[in-house]
Amino acid sequence: MQNMTCLCGCGKTKQVRTADVKRGWGKYYSKSCKARHQKNNHSRGANFDSLHSLDEINKDTHPFSSAGIGQDGYGW
């Protein structure tokens, strides 16, 4: 067993099995501590902004759009 200090910054410690530490578990005192740490250290949507430019988003070339299917817009 090892004493682990919570990573969220609350300062709480708990004993964690060595096998769990090797798996990467036991880093937080509770689920609420983990949620607090993730909320403060992860920004949502940061990866999406870097993946797609506005020009690509505004194009009508989605695979299921009429242009992507090969329809000319006048029916089947």
pLDDT digits (tens, 9 = 90+) for 13-60: 999 999 999 998 999 999 999 988 888 876 655 555 555 566 666 665
Please state, in angstroms and rounded to a whole number, the distance separating the CA atoms of residues 66 and 10. 54
Token pair for 32? 């609420």
Single-letter amino acid, residue 39: K
Residue whose C-alpha is closest to residue 1's, from 13, 12, 59: 13
What is the structure's pLDDT at 16? 93
Task: Output the pLDDT for position 40.
Answer: 80
pLDDT given for residue 38 in this prediction = 86
- pTM (2 decimals)? 0.49
What mean pLDDT do residues 66-75 have? 61
User: What are the start-end ranges of the E strands in 10-65?
Assistant: 13-16
